[in-house]
């Protein structure tokens, strides 16, 4: 894999970790600096719990981000402490701000007196400037990032709305993998829009499909998918997503919440998904996002080769699957997916 002379900072911001790849021109990919750090939401949760223990009221400032700190906020309110939030920051808790108020959070553009400020953001430029400088690395020319975004879908459930985006990808974008990396994210993806502003306008993507794209950076897997078809599965901490890929196109998408799956159930879903016999209604009724397949090409072997990544990948350890490591590190699959999505602009 080759890149241009620009330094790239690629981030996959999850609920547990943020996985980071620094693309340094002149070095082989195996020598590019890489980091696995706690997710920003974990730092916010830790800060809230510290302030709760100190008996302090809090004010959430900043912008929309991952809501992995929500439990710490609930504990703060249950302890009898007050919480306020700037409206832009409150979107990290719900796209409908009236729901934020029902939680007991006061919305205000100004920090109330005697409230400790807790800043929200998936990406803080100051942190990364200091971190990279401490590591002896130059500041990047381009930052690209991925994060999970259910999207804002007024009048319908987030699960249903998110899957409508998948339908548009399969039909309108013809399942082209590069369409999963956005120069301009769809308007529904409010978290990605905020993230794009924070990183300075670089490309963004949803983390699940970015990780799947990363698997296609492995040449042997890309060739298998192109010639015979492959099922690629990302079992994340929160979501499980699977793609049916053939001839440089995605022919099917399946998405369910990982916490609702055990190994036999997931494998049963995947077997029917590969055969085009699992439908949207069944997955949605089981509290998932859904499933959609186009007419499956006869030239595939039934998408029999299944490649599994993600922090919960051991769920399928006993089944006939393979566990790839894009770029030598499974945790960096999302970062390599971003790189693949940028390939048209950055390939040498």
150, two tokens? 């259910």
Q: Extract the tokens encoding 287.
A: 């509290």
User: Number of folded domains in the chain?
Assistant: 2
For strands 83-85 and 105-107, give the pairing.
parallel
Q: Compute mean pLDDT per 10 residues along the chain, 348 residues long, and list them.
A: 76 91 90 93 97 98 94 97 97 92 97 97 96 96 93 75 86 89 91 96 92 90 94 90 94 93 96 94 90 91 91 94 89 92 53
- My answer on whether 27 and 96 are in the same domain is no
Both 224 and 152 in a single domain? yes
Does residue 237 contact residue 256 with C-beta atoms inside 8 Å?
no
Contacts of 301 (CB under 8 A, 6+ apart): 228, 229
User: Looking at residue 109, which CATH number applies to its domain?
Assistant: 3.40.50
Question: 192 and 104, same structural domain?
Answer: no
Structural domain containing residue 330? 8-33+143-346
Side-chain-side CA neighbours of 287 within 13 Å: the count stands at 7
- Taking the alpha carbons at both ends of the chain, their separation in whole angstroms is 8
Statement to judge: residues 26 and 55 lie in one domain: no
180 lies in a domain? Answer: yes
- Whether residues 171 and 264 share a domain: the answer is yes
Same domain, 337 and 306: yes
Residues 90, 14: one domain? no
299 shares a domain with 227? yes
Specify the DSSP class assigned to residue 314: G
Q: pLDDT at position 16, please?
A: 83
Domain shared by 150 and 77, yes or no: no
Helices and strands, counts by H and E, the chain: 13, 15
Q: Look at residue 136 and tell me if it is in a domain.
A: no
Residue 12: predicted pLDDT: 95
Rg of the chain's alpha carbons, rounded to an integer? 21
Which pLDDT does position 214 carry in this prediction? Answer: 92
The answer to whether residues 197 and 96 belong to one domain is: no
In a domain, 103, yes or no: yes
Contact between 159 and 288 under an 8 Å Cβ cutoff? The reply is yes
- Please check whether residue 132 lies inside any domain of the structure: no
In a domain, 138, yes or no: no
Q: Are residues 80 and 221 in the same domain?
A: no
Which residues, at least 6 apart from 201, have a Cβ–Cβ distance to it below 8 Å?
A: none
Distance CA 224, CA 148 (A): 28
CB-CB contact of 83 with 73 (8 Å): yes
Neighbours of 319 (CB within 10 A): 14
What is the Cα–Cα distance from 129 to 178, expressed in whole angstroms?
Answer: 29
Query: Are the C-beta atoms of 26 and 337 separated by less than 8 Å?
Result: no
């Amino acid at each position: 894999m080759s890149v241009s002379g620009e330094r790239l900072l690629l981030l996959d911001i999850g609920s547990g970790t943020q996985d980071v790849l620094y693309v340094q021109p002149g070095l082989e990919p195996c020598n590019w600096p890489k980091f696995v750090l706690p997710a920003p939401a974990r730092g916010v949760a830790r800060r809230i719990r510290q302030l709760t223990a100190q008996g302090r009221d809090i004010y959430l400032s900043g912008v929309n981000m991952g809501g992995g700190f929500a439990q710490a906020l609930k504990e703060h309110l249950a302890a009898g402490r007050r919480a306020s939030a700037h409206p832009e920051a409150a979107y990290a808790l719900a796209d409908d701000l009236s729901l934020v108020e029902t939680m007991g959070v006061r919305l205000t553009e100004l920090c109330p007196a005697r409230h400790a400020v807790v800043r929200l953001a998936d990406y803080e430029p100051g942190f990364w400037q200091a971190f990279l400088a401490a590591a002896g690395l130059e500041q990047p020319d381009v930052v690209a990032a991925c994060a999970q975004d259910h999207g804002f879908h007024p009048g319908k459930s987030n699960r249903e709305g998110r899957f409508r985006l998948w339908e548009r990808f399969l039909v309108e974008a013809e399942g082209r993998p590069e369409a999963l990396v956005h120069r301009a994210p769809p308007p529904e993806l409010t978290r990605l829009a905020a993230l794009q502003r924070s990183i300075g306008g670089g490309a963004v993507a949803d983390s699940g499909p970015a990780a799947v794209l990363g698997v296609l950076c492995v040449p042997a897997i890309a060739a298998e998918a192109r010639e015979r078809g492959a099922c690629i599965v990302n079992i994340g901490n929160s979501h499980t997503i699977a793609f049916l890929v053939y001839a440089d196109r995605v022919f099917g998408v399946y998405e369910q919440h990982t916490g609702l799956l055990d190994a036999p159930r997931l494998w049963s879903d995947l077997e029917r998904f590969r055969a085009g016999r699992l439908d949207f209604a069944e997955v949605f009724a089981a509290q998932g996002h859904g499933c959609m397949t186009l007419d499956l090409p006869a030239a595939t072997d039934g998408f029999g080769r299944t490649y599994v990544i993600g922090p919960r990948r051991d769920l399928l350890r006993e089944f006939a699957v393979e566990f790839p490591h894009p770029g030598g590190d499974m945790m960096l699959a999302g970062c390599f997916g971003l790189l693949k999505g940028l390939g048209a602009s950055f390939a040498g």
